C-alpha cells in the first residue's frame, strides 16, 4: 500500500488526514525501520507493508466505534504502537495508555512519543494483569490487536473498562474463538454488541473486530487471579 492508497482507504473509514498527521507517520516509519536494524521491534519493515498491515489495520477500529466521542483508550500489548500510537496521531482528543511487558518495545515507544511530540499519552512497561488495581473501571475503550486467545483476553480486559463502555478485540479469523468466548462474556456481565468481519485491501487477509459492552462495574475482590485465568479460562 503506497501513501496515496493509504490516504484513500482511510477516507473510507471516515478519517481525513492532515499534512501534520501524514508527516508524523513519515517520521514513525523512518524511525521504526531504523530502530529495527539494531532492536527487533517488528517483522514488518518495508514501507508499503507498514502502511497497510500496521497503520491502516490499526485505524480499522473506526469501522466499529466513533473514537471522536470517547475520552480515553487503553491498548493492551501495544508492541511497536499498533493500534494505540497510530490512534493517538489521528485522534488527538483521546487520552491513550499503551501497556506492554517488553521493555525494548516500551523504550522504543517512549522515544517515538518524544520524537513525534505527542501529549496525553502514557506508556507502561508491565503486564496488563499487574495494572488492574490502579486502572479498574477506568477506560471508555480497551483494545488489543492480535493478543492471546479471546476468552483469556476478555477476562483480563473487561475489569479495565468503564460500565456501559467497550472492549474491542482486533483479530484475524475469529469464529472459533468467539464461540468459545460466549460463556466468558456472560459470566463477566457483558454483552456482545457487534462483530464486523472484513478483508484488508490489496492482500485480502481476514480481519475481525469484536465489540463487547460492559454492563456492570467490576469489583476488585471478585476478580480471579492471573494464574486461574490462564489455567482455567472461562469457556465451555
What is d(CA 140, CA 234) in angstroms, rounded to the nearest whole number? 24
Percent of the chain with pLDDT over 70: 100
Closest CA to 33 of 16, 19, 14, 54: 54
pLDDT tens-digit profile of 107-130? 999 999 999 999 999 999 999 999
Q: What gap in Å lies between CA 227 and CA 70, rounded to an integer? A: 32
User: Does 32 map to a domain?
Assistant: no
First-to-last alpha carbon distance for the chain, in angstroms, is: 41
Average pLDDT, the chain: 95
Residue 120 confidence (pLDDT):
97
pLDDT of residue 146: 72
Question: Exposed/middle/buried for 169, CB within 10 Å: 0-12, 13-18, 19+?
Answer: buried
Specify if 119 maps to a domain: yes
> What is the DSSP-derived secondary structure letter of residue 25?
H
Domain holding 104, by residue range, is 67-231
Q: How many domains does the chain have?
A: 1
Asked, for residue 48, whether it belongs to a domain, the answer is no
In a domain, 116, yes or no: yes
Query: Cα separation of 67 and 35, whole Å?
Result: 30
Residue 93: give its domain's CATH number: 3.40.50.150
Give the length of the chain. 236
pLDDT at 69: 96
Structural domain contains residue 92: yes
Q: Which three cell numbers stand for residue 21?
A: 498527521
Scan for cell 507502561, then name that residue: 124
Q: What share of the chain is helix, strand, coil (3-state, %, to 5)?
A: 45, 20, 30
Query: Residue 5 contacts by C-beta under 8 Å, 6 or more apart in sequence?
Result: 51, 201, 202
List, for residues 200-231, the tens digit of each pLDDT value: 999 999 999 999 999 999 999 999 999 999 99
Helices (H), the chain: 3-12, 19-36, 47-49, 57-59, 84-90, 103-116, 132-135, 150-157, 175-187, 226-231
Instruction: Classify residue 236 as exposed, middle or buried by CB count within 10 Å of its CB (0-12, 13-18, 19+).
Output: exposed
Distance CA 93, CA 72 (A): 8
In a domain, 30, yes or no: no
Query: Is residue 27 assigned to a domain?
Result: no
Task: Give me the tens of pLDDT residue by residue for the chain, a chain 236 residues long.
Answer: 999 999 999 999 999 999 999 999 999 999 999 999 999 999 988 999 999 999 999 999 999 999 999 999 999 999 999 999 999 999 999 999 999 999 999 999 999 999 999 999 999 999 999 999 999 999 999 999 977 889 999 999 999 999 999 999 999 877 788 888 999 999 999 999 999 999 999 999 999 999 999 999 999 999 999 999 999 999 87
Q: Answer whether residue 101 is part of any domain.
A: yes
Q: How many CB atoms lie within 10 A of CB 10?
A: 20
Question: Which of 87, 76, 143, 79 is CA-nearest to residue 118?
Answer: 87
Looking at residue 4, its pLDDT comes to: 96
Amino acid at each position: 500500500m503506497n501513501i496515496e492508497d493509504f490516504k484513500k482507504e482511510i477516507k473510507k473509514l471516515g478519517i481525513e488526514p492532515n499534512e501534520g498527521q501524514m508527516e508524523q507517520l513519515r517520521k514513525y516509519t523512518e524511525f521504526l525501520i531504523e530502530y529495527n536494524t539494531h532492536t527487533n521491534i517488528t517483522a514488518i519493515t518495508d514501507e508499503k507493508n507498514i502502511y497497510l498491515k500496521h497503520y491502516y489495520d490499526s485505524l480499522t477500529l473506526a469501522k466499529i466505534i466513533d473514537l471522536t466521542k470517547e475520552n480515553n483508550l487503553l491498548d493492551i500489548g501495544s508492541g511497536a504502537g499498533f493500534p494505540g500510537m497510530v490512534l493517538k496521531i489521528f485522534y488527538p482528543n483521546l487520552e491513550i495508555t499503551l501497556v506492554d511487558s517488553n521493555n525494548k518495545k516500551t523504550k522504543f515507544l517512549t522515544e517515538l512519543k518524544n520524537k513525534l511530540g505527542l501529549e496525553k499519552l502514557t506508556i507502561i512497561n508491565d503486564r496488563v494483569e499487574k495494572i488492574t488495581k490502579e486502572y479498574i473501571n477506568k477506560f471508555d475503550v480497551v483494545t488489543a490487536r492480535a493478543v492471546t486467545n479471546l476468552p483469556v483476553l476478555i477476562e483480563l480486559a473487561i475489569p479495565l473498562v468503564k460500565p456501559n463502555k467497550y472492549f474491542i478485540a482486533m483479530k484475524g479469523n475469529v469464529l472459533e474463538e468467539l464461540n468459545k468466548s460466549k460463556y466468558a462474556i456472560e459470566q463477566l456481565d457483558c454483552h456482545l454488541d457487534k462483530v464486523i468481519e472484513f478483508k484488508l485491501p490489496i492482500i485480502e487477509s481476514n480481519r475481525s473486530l469484536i465489540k463487547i459492552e460492559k454492563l456492570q462495574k467490576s469489583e476488585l475482590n471478585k476478580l480471579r487471579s492471573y494464574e486461574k485465568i490462564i489455567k482455567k479460562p472461562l469457556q465451555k
